[in-house]
């Protein structure tokens, strides 16, 4: 039996969701991606080093709106899992120097958990520009026994988020990462596959909606212009 594209994509999303959970459970001991919220909090909330993030008191609504527009995930909000699928966000502030819990020199870290395991982490350098040494250091902490490879964007495999680094190669790849200004985005490859399936379903639904709207407009056009 041949199913419509939207149904095929929906089934693929469910399959990837199950596979993602099983794979993360198997790899959580090897990398920070795959941690539980409790494990992430224990790492980030060390005394004199990190805390839960809150916006500065003098941060205006306009400032917050600008930050939301520039946030790397904003273009993909419509594809992210819903709260019903156990999608959870944690936001931390980590100082650049231990025992100097500065509000001006450090990192804002967004962590997203799907079904209780982290699948996506975003590191925003604050007070200084993100540099290659910091990128290499963060990626190095996540590599386990594998090796990161730089991948030209033109050579990306099917992807929604896009990447310039991949941990492992081909079918053995587990994590992907890319830089966006002063952000470093690191995510599980299976999350990228999951979002790709959701995009296929979204695009199919949008195509159907636009076709139905066009048909309705065509039908009503003679009535709309009657009397001219």
DSSP states along 75-105: GGGGGSPPGGGTEEEEEEEEESBTTB--SSS
Tokens at 202, concatenated: 């979204």
Computed over every residue of the chain, the mean pLDDT equals: 86
Tokens at 228, concatenated: 């001219």
pLDDT tens digits along 29-79 = 334 799 999 999 999 998 888 999 988 888 889 988 999 999 999 999 999
The dihedral through the CA atoms of 144, 145, 149, 153 has a sign that is: negative
Query: Which of helix, strand or coil describes residue 138?
Result: helix
- The answer on pLDDT for 149 being more than 50 is yes
Confidence of residue 22 (pLDDT cuts 50, 70, 90): very low
Tokens at 133, concatenated: 């040494």
Q: Are 13 and 194 in contact (CB under 8 A)?
A: yes
d(CA 170, CA 114): 24
pLDDT tens digits along 114-142 = 999 999 999 999 999 999 999 999 999 99
């Amino acid at each position: 039996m041949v199913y419509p594209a939207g149904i095929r994509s929906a089934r693929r999303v469910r399959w990837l969701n199950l596979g993602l959970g099983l794979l993360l459970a198997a790899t959580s001991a090897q990398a920070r991606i795959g941690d539980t919220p409790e494990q992430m909090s224990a790492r980030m909330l060390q005394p004199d080093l990190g805390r839960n993030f809150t916006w500065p008191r003098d941060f205006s609504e306009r400032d917050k709106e600008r930050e939301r527009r520039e946030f790397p995930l904003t273009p993909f909000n419509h594809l992210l899992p819903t709260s019903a699928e156990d999608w959870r966000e944690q936001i931390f502030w980590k100082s650049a120097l231990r025992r100097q819990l500065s509000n001006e020199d450090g990192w804002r870290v967004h962590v997203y958990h799907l079904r209780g395991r982290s699948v996506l982490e975003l590191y925003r350098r604050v007070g200084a520009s993100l540099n290659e040494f910091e990128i290499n250091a963060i990626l190095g902490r996540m590599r386990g026994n594998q090796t990161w490879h730089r991948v030209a964007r033109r050579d990306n495999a099917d992807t929604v988020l896009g990447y310039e680094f991949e941990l492992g190669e081909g079918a053995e790849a587990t994590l992907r990462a890319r830089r966006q200004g002063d952000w470093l985005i690191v995510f599980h490859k299976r999350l990228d596959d999951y979002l790709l399936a959701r995009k296929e379903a979204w695009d199919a639904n949008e195509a159907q909606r636009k076709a139905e709207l066009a048909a309705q407009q065509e039908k009503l056009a003679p009535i709309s212009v009657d009397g001219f």
